[in-house]
Chain A
Amino acid sequence: MSARALQQPLSLRLTSGVFLAMWCVIAAFPILWIMVQSFKVPVDAYDSNALNVILGPETLARGHGMSLFQILIGAAMLWLTFHLARKTLPSLVHQVFDSGVQWIGWVIGVLALTIGAIVALFGVVPWLAGLLDPYLGPFGTNVIGVTTEHYKTVWVERGFFRNFQNSLIVTAGVVAISLSVGTLAGYGLARSGSKLAFWILIIALIFRALPHSVLVAGYLPVFISSSEWLAPILGENAPTLYGKPFAVIAVLVAINQPFTIWMLRSFFQNIPAELDEAARVDGCSHFQAFRRVIMPVMWPGVITTGLFSFLLAYNDFLVTSLLLDAQNQTMVPAIAGMFNRETTTTDQVVAVAAAVSITAPLFFLVMAFQRQIVSGLTAGAVKG
């Protein structure tokens, strides 16, 4: 009877469905829209008629366009990439690499696939289309205006590649250090019922609420004058911490630590304590128990926490813009400089292309790790 009693009238289901569809449009629209804009010449990108922005007649008139044939093979390439990523890559990694070094296989595989996809989409597809379009009649005529010139401007002329490298260094450093430090602490806190552990967690909670600008106000004078006060310890070549990526990594790790230890603690609490007790009975020390028994089963929690550390470091604007100098700037502050400078509409579309370049990796991140992100969001909630 329960199924029938809980069944909803058609009208309610329809309304709910319609509103859900509306939400999806609202959620995705701004992001999709800047993606469309970034591929058009400025006149089209800022046209007040939506259809002109999507189809790009002016872009088409300047000879940048895609034919139906090109769209088709482009879509085929995309499908192939997804198929490779979802089916072929995992099985290949499992076959070629041992379980211990599997993550190396994943890194190599994902890198190869990304580079392959970029080459195929931006190199092979246009070349093939240019070769075959003249023979295909209506299928070979350009229908949609698309240009990648703004991406070339961003990545090649404006030197966005350097910013990308810096972002990569900072995020990789933050994720690696905050996970290794946080895992130990999270485990210690989960297995200890002492008063001290409780107080550390409470203080961490207070630290989590601090505005980052408060902390940066504390770092700045110390970092700028660091070569003076480090000189007695390190001698002549004491570094100025201001502007150095490693200093920013340390700062971001510390800012992220409260969140990391709360989250990892709740994951470790879900691993039954009997597991390490059994190992201890068999004669392991605490550290051996941690390494041999807990480490093999903790990866889901660590990956989820790592994702959130990644997001914090990658998305940060305040800390990186204040503590890094111009040559070491990461992507997000760099784009802020870009749109503040925007004087012509071309500059604006270039800034849009940079924004899309920053967003693209996040898009693929959600695609690959949707389940982990959801479990991370709910894990924090369940434990409060």
Chain B
Amino acid sequence: MKFKIFAAFIGPSVIMMILFIAFPLFSVFKQSFYLTQPIYELMDVETCTPGFITQSCVTETQSIPKLDEHGEIITQTKFVGLQSYRNVLELERAWDALSSGNWAGFGAIDFWKALRFTLTFTLITLPLVLGAGLGIALMINNAAKSVRGPVIFVSLLPFIITPVIGALSINWLFRGDGILTAAIEWYLQRDIAMFAQAWTIEVLMMLYRVWHVAPFAAIVFYAGLQTVNQDSLESAIIDGASRWQRLKYIIIPHLMPLIVFISMIHLMDSYRVFEEIVGFSSQGHVISLQWLTYDFLVPDQAGNRSISRASASAMLTMIGIALLLVPLLRRTWRDHHGGH
């Protein structure tokens, strides 16, 4: 295929990606070093309150944003270097807390709190998703042919449901005296509140994520199980291998590429954990890195969005993604060069 024709085919797609992915990335990088603020000026303001005989007046010096001729606030953008990063990382506070051994104080700083949760979430759900997916796949493979279709249909439901709605539906089961909280209370014979402390919310979020992603893993593994070499299974039986040995030495090695694939997808996706925070309304207790950026972007009560801090936290999030991607890229690189 000539280059010109190739360019014509991929042109629209590449232009879209440059315009809406590469360019914003660059502008986020730039924004993180600049700060846009209204220009304040100091003004003497006289406030008078009616008194009994005379008015009592107080003169104060206040800083008031400057207005232009249309009555709009004038803003200026200036280079602030790493200031936004410092504001997000709060290194001094973090260092103070760490050096005095105050883990709670360290965990109270938004960025480190978010980082801690994002990493725990990613690392704990990964083995659970792989295990649950493999288990479900083996069970579907074991079932009679006639029930496989309906079972896959039911399994797909948690996967395609809108993440916010899925998280909400689990949230509603436990919120207040939701049906499952009531059941646990009845079983334990004591009062529990699932949303009063951070760790129970985290457990629920992880359960939700496993529920949401395990079907995907299961279906991919199920497809992989269809291609297991039956001859080697038979010879293993003749050699007297137990079921467990067959699983360990034949089936799992066969599924290895799929396990790597799912781990990679899951690492990327769970590092972006966000919808759970919204669905469980957990921002008071638990936040994630992506939620932190989102929160900076949402206008505060005065209607301001802290764009530069959002950009700084976005850039910091990206560093994590870069670290995650290195092994994946190396593998793709090897495959490509080995394959050709």
Residues of A that sit less than 8 Å from B by CB: 2, 5-6, 8, 12-13, 16-17, 19-20, 23-24, 26-28, 30-31, 33-34, 37, 46, 48-50, 53, 181-182, 184-185, 187-189, 191-192, 194, 196-198, 200, 202-222, 250-251, 253-255, 257-258, 261, 286-287, 311, 314-315, 317-318, 322, 332, 335-336, 339-340, 348, 351-352, 355, 358-359, 362-363, 365-367, 370, 373-374, 377-378, 380-382, 384
- Which of A17, A189, A315 has most B Cβ within 10 Å? A315
Of residues 1 through 37 on chain B, the ones whose CB sits less than 8 Å from some CB of chain A are: 1, 3, 5-6, 8-10, 12-14, 16-17, 19-21, 23-28, 31, 36
Q: A373-B156, A377-B220 are in contact. Are A46 and B325 (CB under 8 A)?
A: no
Q: A53-B179, A311-B160, A363-B157 are in contact. Are A200 and B170 (CB under 8 A)?
A: no
- Which of B23, B27, B169 has most A Cβ within 10 Å? B169
Q: A31-B157, A53-B179, A185-B10 are in contact. Are A378 and B223 (CB under 8 A)?
A: yes
Starting from the known contacts A5-B237, A33-B169, 13 additional A-B residue pairs (CB-CB under 8 Å) come to A5-B238, A30-B166, A184-B9, A185-B13, A196-B6, A211-B317, A211-B318, A213-B293, A218-B27, A218-B31, A317-B164, A366-B156, A381-B224
Q: Are A202 and B164 in contact (CB under 8 A)?
A: no
Q: Are B173 and A258 in contact (CB under 8 A)?
A: no
Q: Are A210 and B318 in contact (CB under 8 A)?
A: yes
A381's nearest neighbour on chain B, judged by CB, is B220
Bound complex: CA of A363 vs CA of B161, how far in Å? 8
Interface range, B side: 35 or more
Q: A211-B314, A378-B223 are in contact. Are A336 and B164 (CB under 8 A)?
A: yes
Separation in Å of the B235 CB from the closest CB of chain A? Answer: 10
Q: Are B278 and A255 in contact (CB under 8 A)?
A: no
Q: A214-B318, A257-B16, A370-B152 are in contact. Are A205 and B21 (CB under 8 A)?
A: no
Contacting residues, chain A, for B143 (C-beta < 8 A): 16-17, 20
Cβ contacts B300-324/A at 8 Å (1 or 0 each)? 0000010100110011011001001
Bound complex: CA of A336 vs CA of B296, how far in Å? 18
How many A-B contacts are there with CB distance less than 8 Å? Answer: 291
Residues of B that sit less than 8 Å from A by CB: 1, 3, 5-6, 8-10, 12-14, 16-17, 19-21, 23-28, 31, 36, 135-136, 138-140, 142-143, 149, 151-158, 160-166, 168-170, 172-173, 176-179, 182-183, 211, 215-216, 219-220, 223-224, 230, 233-234, 237-238, 243, 257-258, 261-262, 268, 271-272, 274-275, 278, 281, 289-290, 293-294, 296-298, 305, 307, 310-311, 314-315, 317-318, 321, 324-325, 328-329, 332, 335-336
A213's nearest neighbour on chain B, judged by CB, is B293
Bound complex: CA of A188 vs CA of B293, how far in Å? 36
Q: Are A322 and B24 in contact (CB under 8 A)?
A: no
Bound complex: CA of A384 vs CA of B259, how far in Å? 11
Q: Are A358 and B162 in contact (CB under 8 A)?
A: yes
Q: A23-B139, A210-B318, A215-B21 are in contact. Are A318 and B274 (CB under 8 A)?
A: yes
Contacting residues, chain A, for B26 (C-beta < 8 A): 218
Bound complex: CA of A365 vs CA of B162, how far in Å? 13
Bound complex: CA of A50 vs CA of B178, how far in Å? 10
Q: Are A185 and B162 in contact (CB under 8 A)?
A: no
Q: Which of the residues A6, A12, A253, A374 comes within 8 Å of B16, measured between beta carbons?
A: A253
